[in-house]
């Protein structure tokens, strides 16, 4: 039990540390400048408005401070390495090994306290997914498909794929431009932790929940505006 609690506390500690790193604070509301240099290029016209460009591209982000990047990466890598003790897979394994009594208590907390962050996170991303599916279905219907047929083809598609593969192309806009780079970058984590919370009856730190909830609500609002629903 003590080892499990220590692992969860470590996860929350690392998330909080990421939020205050110089890199996150510096670019929270700013878009980094990227310089690209082409060399050894050949250009071939492939159509009236299209060309093929073959060559070497060297890009660099001059605005970044390497020390800030290193500090961020050292912490962030802990969440992405499959064998690290605070990766989502490891946290899932922690709950898989919990006793029925422990899992029941966590499950009941979600039922009895729907105002808590984990319950709200599940509700918000579920609302986003359902609404995104509706927008995608009607976008297909506008091109001649029936609503029933469009829904049947998109019923099991997740929120990220709905936005990337169907909605944004239909509106002619890139996801990060439509929803903002910061919120869009968090959406895969929102989905991952939603699945973790639902299927494993887990819990998530309030600070982490608030950040993910804010991102999902922002995307939902922007999608409503883009589709004309709001």
Q: What is the pLDDT of residue 216?
A: 92
d(CA 77, CA 69): 12
Chain mean pLDDT for the chain: 76
pLDDT tens digits, 189-206? 888 888 877 766 565 555
Instruction: Return the percentage of the chain with pLDDT > 90, whole number.
Output: 20
pLDDT above 50 (res 1): no
CB 57 within 8 A of CB 34: no
pLDDT on residue 51: 83
Q: According to the model, what pLDDT value does residue 222 have?
A: 94
Q: What secondary structure letter does DSSP report for 165?
A: I
- Residue 86, pLDDT score: 47
Q: What is the 8-class DSSP label of residue 140?
A: H
pLDDT digits (tens, 9 = 90+) for 45-95: 888 888 888 888 887 766 666 666 666 665 566 555 555 554 555 665 666
Both tokens assigned to 130: 């359902």
Q: Is the dihedral of CA 10, 107, 183, 158 positive or negative?
A: positive
Q: How far apart are CA 50 and CA 44, in angstroms?
A: 9
For the range 2-11, what are the long-range contacts, defined as Cβ-Cβ under 8 Å and sequence gap of 24 or more? 4/94, 4/98, 7/85, 7/86, 7/90, 7/91, 7/94, 8/91, 8/94, 8/205, 10/85, 10/86, 11/86, 11/91, 11/205
Q: Is 43 helix (H, G, I), strand (E, B) or coil?
A: strand
**Model pLDDT, residue 142:** 86
Max Cα separation, the chain? 67
pLDDT in tens, 145-175: 788 888 888 888 889 999 999 999 999 999 9
Q: How far apart are CA 78 and CA 13, in angstroms?
A: 12
Q: Please say whether the beta carbons of 224 and 32 come within 8 A.
A: no
Q: How do 35-45 and 51-60 pair as beta strands?
A: antiparallel
Query: 2 falls in which pLDDT band (50, 70, 90)?
Result: low
| pLDDT higher than 60, residue 182 | yes
CB contact set of 62 (below 8 Å; sequence gap of 6+): 33, 35
- Alpha-carbon Rg for the chain, nearest whole angstrom, is 21
Q: How far is the C-alpha of 126 from the C-alpha of 175, rounded, in Å?
A: 19
> Which pLDDT band holds residue 221 (cuts at 50, 70, 90)?
very high
Please give the model's pTM, rounded to 2 decimal places. Answer: 0.56
């Amino acid at each position: 039990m003590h080892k499990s609690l220590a692992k969860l506390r470590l996860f929350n500690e690392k998330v909080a540390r990421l939020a205050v790193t110089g890199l996150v604070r510096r670019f929270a509301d700013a878009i980094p400048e990227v310089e690209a240099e082409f060399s050894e290029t050949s250009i071939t016209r492939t159509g009236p408005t299209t060309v093929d460009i073959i060559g070497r591209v060297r890009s660099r982000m001059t605005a970044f401070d390497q020390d800030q990047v290193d500090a961020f990466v050292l912490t962030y890598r802990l969440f992405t390495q499959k064998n690290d003790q605070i990766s989502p897979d490891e946290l899932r394994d922690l709950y898989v090994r919990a006793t029925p009594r422990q899992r029941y208590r966590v499950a009941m907390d979600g039922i009895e306290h729907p105002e808590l962050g984990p319950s709200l996170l599940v509700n918000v991303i579920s609302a986003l997914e359902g609404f995104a599916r509706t927008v995608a279905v009607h976008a297909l219907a506008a091109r001649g498909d029936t609503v029933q047929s469009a829904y049947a083809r998109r019923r099991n598609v997740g929120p990220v794929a709905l936005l990337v593969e169907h909605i944004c192309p239909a509106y002619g806009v890139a996801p990060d431009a439509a929803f903002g780079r910061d919120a869009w970058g968090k959406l895969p984590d929102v989905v991952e932790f939603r699945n973790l919370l639902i299927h494993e009856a887990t819990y998530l730190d309030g600070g982490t929940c608030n950040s993910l909830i804010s991102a999902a609500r922002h995307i939902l609002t922007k999608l409503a505006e883009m589709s004309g629903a709001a």
